[in-house]
Chain A
Amino acid sequence: MQRRHIDESPIRFDLWRRRLPNWLQRFLPSGGGTHEDHHGKGMFGLTIFLLSESIIFLSFIFTYVALRLTTHNWLPPGISGPELSTLVVINTVVLLSSSFVIQPAENALKRNQLSKFRWLWLITIAMGSYFLVGLLIEWKSLDFKITTGLVGSTFYLLTGFHGLHVLAGVVLQIIMLIRSFIPGNYNQTHFGTSATTLFWHFVDVVWVFLFSLIYLWRT
């Protein structure tokens, strides 16, 4: 039998042959096949990792919303639930504004202003740590535990899982600060700081959703 080439197929089966491929081609990076551009590759990898991570948060949020909508006595007797206290508001303001501190820090490093970077970075670490301490104080002050009905289970799950992310962010920030003092480590530190900054923004954005769901959605 005569050998066929793809273009000579008797049936034009590939409907999208012209449009979608050309469209895709324009938007996708073309290959280089090398190890160059660590920064771009790393940030791409981190971005899709964070998208993946956000699915865990979405799953928890789905659980929270589904349970909350289907449970009649959401708050057990004598329990007031998580309150929108001054502590929570200040905590939220501190965490969200830290995004506006870490970004100038990263930009400073890009312009090689090392001492400005270190100061702003240190302030971010302090703000993140403040949030964590505030979270612990809030947990202490509440009249319910993780085992107290669905309200306790979901509250400590959401704030605890987010708190773990804040903790991871602060640890990363401390590592990057230490690395900025190691001579000759500038390039790696630079990727590390960009990655930490992106992670920190992610943690902040997640908190906006959690804060709205936990504290602003009143029964």
Chain B
Amino acid sequence: MTHDFSQEITGDRESQNQQGNTWRQYFSFNTDHKVIGVQYMVMTFIFFLIGGLLAMLIRAELLTPESNLVDRPLYNGLFTMHGTIMIFLWIIPFNAGLSNYLVPLMIGARDMSFPLLNAISFWILPPAGLLLLSSFFLPNGTAQAGWWSYPPVSLQVPGDQFINGEFIWIVSLVLIGISSIMGAVNFVTTIFWMRAPGMTFFRMPVFVWSVFSAQLLQLVNLPALTAALILLLLDLSFGTQFFKPDANGDPIIYQHLFWFYSHPAVYIMALPAFGIFAEILPAFSRNPLFGYRSVAIATLGIAFISIFVWVHHMFTSATPGWMRMTFMATSMLVAIPTGIKAFAWTATIWRSKLHLETPMLFAMGGAAMFIFGGVTGVMLAATPFDIHVNNTYFVVGHFHYIVFNTITMAIFAAIYYWFPKITGRMYAEGWGKLHFWLTFIPANITFFSMHPLGLQGMLRRVSSYDPQYQGWNIIASLASFLLGASTLPFIANIVGSWLYGPRAVDNPWHATGLEWTTSSPPPRDNFEEIPTVTRPPYDYGNPKYSVIVNSDNSE
């Protein structure tokens, strides 16, 4: 379905802005990519809070070696839901929301290529998320097999009810998967077909490259997870035997299908974060992004290599030696394109005058923490080391350095950076910096503590442990409570600034991206005239390109 916007763009800019600002739109079925983007971001943030509360319950249980706060089935449910919510209802859909908001603006399009499909993609998510949460109220509780949901554990659900926690978990994830596939079709088509005149592939911002690569991965890999979930559901509820070892079924096949998606899923989450760094670091160091083309191609390279690394999650799953060796090599290969990126970020800010506003703090913090998480990632790719720390808190620590200290930091950076564009108002800088330090320090304490715990042998997914591990656990738990509390100044800042903040100018950071050439917030149709792009991105400091965009009628 398409909509004729030509009448709406004839009004003056002020009335268009008001159109884009009506709060009622955000609660309605709307096909404007900007409204959908904000809907995604706000909804996923609510899930982030829920997932965070579950994490703090987990950390509270781990304060003492005994299992004395929640019973074990509930503890299993807590970590299962925490992981599921944070991955499938926070990071991935938040990135989808941010990309939804930014990609059409960044490539000079009026909307996504399939606006109706876009709205449907979003509106699948709230019911799927509520369905997932509702499983807490089932007689036998929610799914308890972890976010991997490996059979045969996931097939051993307590009680005989047809509708059980695992059933609900599978159905919700299939729904979320359908939403993501539709979104991926939309993003890839939009980036291929909707670019403004002159916006060649090598004039696209790296963020768009990242979204493009990540969404290609969704298209190629997500169906494998959907297939695995369908098979799991058939085994669970309809008496088939694909993954049942006692009936000749093979649970290892589930692991192959699951990780064929879920390892690239890490890059589906991380690539947009890298894209965010590539937007913010140049803007706040007033330098062009170093090695732009290499970074763009490295983005595609990461996506491509990540398709061939999934077995490194299965080094301890009776995997044959040749397979271990092969996948150890491919997994380590990912370090090359990611290294190119990290090198480019460093070279971009090298010997420049840094402007340490909140987005820059979060971007630099996130990028630096990625180096740490990346190094432990290479360690885990090495089979002998992985066998030693497999299923310990070392893996949990590494993973959280990526998903929290890198990606969630990047998300916060993005929220602050594009807040003036999205809302037309400025956030409070002091509160933003407070939020950064309240996040950065406790996050590092929390997740660093998990590395020595893991090296000493503390297993993940246990509610009770040997008293020798208590010291690091107390440190991690107390820091995690502080980390949870750090969200409060963020919420106060965002809500307060959105309502009462000072008006923002169109381009408060003097950034070069196309999204900054339109008003804040952008009008319904994004641009009064579709811009013609005549320059590469990231042209900070080049007087030759002081005029950012030559609109057809502007000169």
Contacts and interface: CB of A to CB of B under 8 A. Distances in A.
B297 A16 contact: yes
Contact of A41 (B189, B199, B221, B249): B189
Given A37-B193, A45-B189, A157-B234, A31 B541 contact: no
A214 B538 CA distance: 55
B234 A153 contact: yes
Given A31-B195, A33-B194, A66 B250 contact: yes
Interface in A143-177: 146-147, 149-150, 152-154, 156-157, 161
B219 A157 contact: no
Contacts of A149: 241, 247-248
A67 B114 contact: no
Nearest to B113: A41
B248 A33 contact: no
Contact of A31 (B199, B230, B257): B199
A117 B551 CA distance: 45
Nearest to B222: A52
Interface in A3-34: 3-6, 9, 13-17, 20-21, 24-25, 28-34
Interface stretch (A53-61, A102-110, A132-140): A53-61
Interface residues of B, number: 75
A111 interface: no
Interface in B193-244: 193-202, 219-224, 226-228, 230-231, 234, 238-242
Contacts of B288: 4-6
B201 A24 contact: yes
A3 B287 contact: yes
Nearest to A60: B227
A147 B249 CA distance: 12
Nearest to A9: B290
A154 B202 CA distance: 46
A77 interface: no
A5 B541 contact: yes
A209 to B, nearest CB: 15
B293 A21 contact: yes
B242 A13 contact: no
Contacts of A63: 227, 231, 242, 253, 257
Interface string A169-189: 000000000000000000000
A49 interface: yes
Given A45-B186, A59-B228, A150-B242, A20 B297 contact: yes
Interface of B: 2, 107-111, 113-114, 181, 184-186, 188-189, 192-202, 219-224, 226-228, 230-231, 234, 238-242, 247-250, 253, 256-257, 260, 286-294, 297, 340, 343-344, 347, 351-353, 530, 536, 538-542, 544
Which 8 pairs of residues, A with B, have the shortest CB-CB distance?
A31-B195, A3-B541, A59-B227, A55-B223, A33-B196, A153-B240, A147-B239, A14-B294
22 contacts: A1-B352, A3-B541, A4-B541, A6-B288, A6-B292, A6-B538, A13-B290, A13-B347, A33-B108, A33-B197, A33-B199, A38-B2, A45-B189, A48-B219, A52-B181, A52-B223, A53-B223, A60-B227, A70-B250, A73-B248, A147-B241, A153-B240
Given A3-B540, A32-B195, A153-B249, 20 more contacts: A3-B541, A5-B288, A13-B347, A31-B196, A31-B197, A32-B196, A33-B199, A33-B530, A38-B2, A41-B193, A45-B185, A45-B186, A48-B189, A52-B184, A52-B222, A59-B224, A62-B253, A63-B227, A146-B239, A152-B240
